[in-house]
Amino acid sequence: MDKIDAKILIVDDDQDVLLAAKLFLKQHIQIVHTEKNPENIPDLIRNENYDLILLDMNFSPDATSGKEGFYWMNKILEIDPAAIVILITGYGDIELAVQGIKEGSTNFLLKPWENKKLLATITTTLELRKSKVELEDLRTKQKILIADQNQAYSNLIGQSPAMEKVLTTVQKVANTDANVLILGENGTGKELIARAVHRASNRKDQVFVSVDLGAISETLFESELFGFKKGAFTDAKEDRAGRFEAANKGTIFLDEIGNLSFSLQSKLLSVIQNRKVVRLGTNKEIPIDVRLICATNMPLYQMVNENKFRQDLLYRINTVEITIPSLRERIEDISLLVDHFLEIYCKKYKMPLKRINQSTLKRLEKHNWPGNIRELQHAVERAVIMSESNMLQPHDFFLSKIDDEKDGGVVSSNMNLEDTEKILIRKVIDKHGGNISKAAKELGLTRASLYRRIEKYDL
């Protein structure tokens, strides 16, 4: 039988008790230390990391009050608040032992004890400690993850009037629990704004769960969002919580909500109205407490008129609307954004800090930016990698070539955004020989988003 991987300390003034306990426990526990003099407890705890401490309540001859035990228990917890202490007491001192639990001990043990009872108490307490450590570890990791996410999404770059209006709305709505609908073209930073709302809200210390509804198939929608019970379908090998449960007490961000079919819209509406989910394979309702933020680049109001989007769902999700301007509507911010991305990618690729001159900036400001900030970000990254100079020129940006081809039919002043996007997508796909992954990366889109556009434009 394998020994329990733990280190315990037994403190008792009876040398016979210590010897008997050690002889027995060493058969089951990896490391067992004993100590007769409680005065040595502080040094022992500072020098060793004990998983559990068994502590006698009385050390002086004829002492029965238990005061010494309480004193040393408090000393232990003062040095190590996470220490696990089991008090050792006689049959007549059960009330004292109960008092000890109220004051900080985890359990108590009556002596003289049976060896089986001793081992069972220690084993149970060690399992409890392990659970507490794992829970604390999860909480710590969650805090670190939240802090990292907040740091990664902390920079909302922009001083243009259009962006100031957005940021003002974010501040107004953040401290409420109102549902928020974020509208804007692809690449404008809808998730960035969603995280800004979460970060400024009362739920900022809780989880932020992002769901790309455009990437979830109809068959997986319920299991992904609402969870499932083991055996609910062929591959359901264990119980699993859905995204709504995972976001409980925090914020759930549903991106590309305009892509949901009518039937899935009904299921989502039911959850939003009732604030309860039912896992697949069960009938049990699970209450949820989430802040709902949705986003789309699709014309939801037009879709309502065309019976492609439920009006009652739209009313539920758009308590407050935030419309993010395209990059074409905030040209003043291009300089700030370029500087921001230059710092990021020069650091990432361990290069000297690169800059752009005024002629390059003016060229970038004239570009149409159908992919918005995401397109600008990828353009800067490419320029950082490909340029051999620390001062970037217009020709270092692939996009400048597109501007040069206006007369060649790539971009025309009488073309709308969809026409421009269609031509750009075809050009990039042709450039990469039909490789969708490479084309999507260059355009700053996900594969799913690019496939939808290919279907939309019948490319």
Q: What is the pLDDT of residue 94?
A: 65
pLDDT of 413 above 50: no
User: Are both 153-323 and 327-456 of the same fold?
Assistant: no
Separation between Cα atoms, residue 425 and residue 431, nearest integer Å: 10
User: At residue 406, does pLDDT exceed 50?
Assistant: no
Model confidence band, residue 142 (pLDDT cutoffs 50, 70, 90): low
Residue 266: the pLDDT is 95
φ/ψ of 104, rounded to 5, equals 140, -10
Query: Quick one: how far is CA 315 from the chain centroid?
Result: 28
Q: What percent of the chain has pLDDT over 90?
A: 50
Query: 10 Å Cβ neighbour count for 441?
Result: 16
Looking only at the bridges linking them, the beta strands covering 227-228 and 240-241 are antiparallel
- Indicate whether 117 pLDDT > 60: yes
Question: Does residue 308 have a pLDDT over 80?
Answer: yes
What's the whole-number average pLDDT of the chain? 85
CATH architecture classification, 153-323: 3-Layer(aba) Sandwich (3.40)
More reliable by pLDDT, 320 or 109: 320
Kindly report the backbone phi and psi dihedral angles of residue 278, in degrees, each rounded to the nearest multiple of 5, phi listed first: -125, 115
pLDDT number for residue 409: 42
Query: Mean pLDDT throughout 377-399?
Result: 87
**Is-cis flag, bond preceding 112, omega within 30?**
yes
pLDDT-derived band at 93 (thresholds 50, 70, 90) equals low
The domain 4-133 having CATH identifier 3.40.50.880: the answer here is no
pLDDT for 386: 87
Q: What pLDDT is attached to residue 410?
A: 44
| pLDDT at residue 244 in the model | 96
pLDDT of residue 344: 93
Lowest pLDDT segment from 136-145, 158-167, 182-191:
136-145
| Structure tokens given for 421 | 């996007």
Q: Could you tell me the pLDDT band of residue 411, with boundaries at 50, 70 and 90? A: very low
Q: For position 438, what pLDDT does the model report?
A: 85
Q: At 217, list the tokens.
A: 């198939």
Q: Tell me what pLDDT residue 341 has.
A: 94
Q: What percentage of the chain reaches a pLDDT higher than 70?
A: 86
Residue 209, strand partner residues: 252
Name the token pair of 361.
């900036």
Confidence band of 408 (pLDDT split at 50, 70, 90): very low
Q: Is the pLDDT of residue 414 over 50?
A: no
Whether the predicted pLDDT of 274 surpasses 90 = yes
- The CATH fold assigned to 327-456 is Helicase, Ruva Protein; domain 3 (1.10.8)
Report pLDDT digits (tens) over 34-87. 999 999 999 998 888 898 999 988 887 665 667 788 888 888 888 888 788 888
**Dihedral angle computed from the Cα positions of residues 413, 415, 421 and 422, in that order, rounded to the nearest 10 degrees:** -130
Alpha carbon 90 to chain centroid, angstroms: 50
* Residue extents of the structural domains in the chain: 4-133, 153-323, 327-456
DSSP annotation of 259: G
Q: Is the pLDDT of residue 453 over 70?
A: yes
Digit-coded pLDDT (tens) for 16-33: 889 999 999 999 999 999
Q: Read off the pLDDT of each residue in 293-307 and give the average, rounded to a whole number.
A: 95
**pLDDT level of residue 318 (50, 70, 90 thresholds):** very high
DSSP notation for 183-249: E--TTS-HHHHHHHHHHTSTTTTS-EEEEEGGGS-HHHHHHHHHEE-TTSSTT--S-EE-HHHHTTT
Cβ(310)–Cβ(266) below 8 Å: yes
Among 323-327, 407-411, 442-446, 454-458, the range with the most confident prediction by mean pLDDT is 323-327
**Structure confidence by residue, pLDDT tens digits, 215-270:** 899 989 999 999 998 888 888 888 889 999 999 999 999 999 999 999 999 999 99
pLDDT of 141? 61
Q: Is the pLDDT of residue 185 over 80?
A: yes
Q: Using N-to-C axis directions, what is the helix angle for 436-443 and 372-386, rounded to 10°? A: 100
Say if residue 149's pLDDT is above 60.
Answer: no
* pLDDT, position 124: 87
